[in-house]
Chain A
Amino acid sequence: MDVYVYDNGISNLKSILSAIEYVGHNPLITNDCKLNSKTKHLILPGVGSFNSAMRIMQKNSADQRIKDFVSNGGHILGVCLGMQLLFEEGFEGGKIPGLGIIKGYVQHLPPPDKKNGDTLPNMGWHDINIIADSALIKSTAKSIQCYFVHDYHCVPIDSKIVTMEITYGNQSICAGVNTGKIYGVQFHPEKSGKTGLEMVRRFIHS
């Protein structure tokens, strides 16, 4: 199956493209999100800051086309910053409006609990608490670990859309969301071994 991957020119897409190929599908890179109507899946990766990523999207109207894709029933997976961009606003580099596809905001991580091995940025493997079933993973799955690199985290208004959490700074932090055909993961599935590859596969099959 064809899967779109949005390229903002600053993210390193090699691993995510490899992951899509590894699970047997065909990545199509797009930088303006002028998408053909046959392709039903879009992955929104992302490194960099919320602020700069939004500006790049706005420049060529990729932001509006992503919103149209979602309102026309497309399946979207936001990865790391890509998940954060789905929300209404972020606070990295000032108060910045996001895509607004998911209600909620993106804020800085709480102070790390160093005794528990937390670092800031949060970079490394974490145990995932599966809060609710989604197409990506069932809550009956055995304990899983995924690889994170971030300073900011998502706070959805509707806590029922949270599918995964981690413990950071003695708090539960949102690590995954799902509502309808919209998915977001704060970790990097393309760096999270077989667990992550399986989620990429399941997203494409969703």
Chain B
Amino acid sequence: MFRVIARCDIKGKNLIKGIRYEGVRVIGDPSEFAMNYYADGADEIVYIDAVASLYERSSLAPLVESSVKDIFVPISVGGGINDLESARLIFKSGAEKVIVNTAAISNPNLINILSQEFGRQAVVVSIQAKKREKYWEALTHCGRSVTGLNVSEWMERVQDLGAGEIILTSVDCDGTMGGLDLELIRSISGIVDLPVIASGGFTNDDPIEDLIREGMISGLAIGASLHRKYINISSLKKRLHANGINVRI
């Protein structure tokens, strides 16, 4: 079943959004936005602490704890999760899955450790892909740090290490509302059997039905286009349903 996921990037107490991970602006209260997305039919809520990896800690446990009082769909949480203890805190606060990026690239075995402890289905790896001349590079620290790591090699490694799912974000498209990076998705997502969630730049004009039918993507994580109200989840799901895609209505 194809998932439409609302993605909320958070700094401090605020929902924020940048363009290509730069020029971050405050949008509002994350729990209020998340609640509206839940009410409009989001299949999952993603909270990412956008600055946590810089400080090596997540501050989202209290937000998750209050969100589960009103949001009755799964919540996934990322940013600053770098060991068993920080993951346990997030699960304890009521999240279904943890999302790792920076800490997993500096210590790939973290993926294995987390999936052994919590089950692979509960471990999501976020990949921030930046287009280079001959390949896509996986960035860390919310698009700030280069790694030289080739996204397609990293995807395979992540799968072998025991991840359950991948959120693939195009750094070049993120926040632009100028369309998904279809080239990235087409050339990369077939590399792994894991569910791939596409993220970064989605607009209503994107021909995602084909990608879904071809099994390229299992879900879509949308941030800016939702926050700016260019898209609402219920009408997007109606469109997908009308086009023969299996979605939760």
Contacts and interface: CB of A to CB of B under 8 A. Distances in A.
A121 B119 contact: yes
A181 interface: no
Contacts of B147: none
Contact of B195 (A115, A119, A121, A197): A119
A18 B91 CA distance: 16
A202 to B, nearest CB: 15
B109 interface: no
B1 A14 contact: no
A15 B94 contact: yes
A18 B249 contact: no
B73 A147 contact: yes
B153 to A, nearest CB: 23
Contacts of B135: none
Q: How large is the interface on B (under 10, 10 to 19, 20 to 34, 35 or more residues)?
A: 20 to 34
Interface of chain B, helix or strand or loop or mixed?
Answer: loop
Contacts of A127: 1, 246
Q: How large is the interface on A (under 10, 10 to 19, 20 to 34, 35 or more residues)?
A: 20 to 34
A125 B3 contact: yes
Interface string B69-94: 11011100000000000000001111
Interface of B: 1, 3, 38, 41, 43, 65, 68-70, 72-74, 91-94, 96, 119-122, 164, 193, 195, 215, 218, 246, 248-249
29 contacts: A12-B91, A12-B94, A14-B68, A14-B69, A14-B94, A15-B72, A18-B68, A18-B69, A18-B70, A22-B70, A117-B218, A119-B164, A121-B119, A123-B121, A124-B1, A124-B3, A143-B249, A145-B1, A145-B248, A145-B249, A147-B74, A149-B121, A190-B72, A192-B73, A193-B38, A193-B72, A193-B73, A193-B248, A194-B72
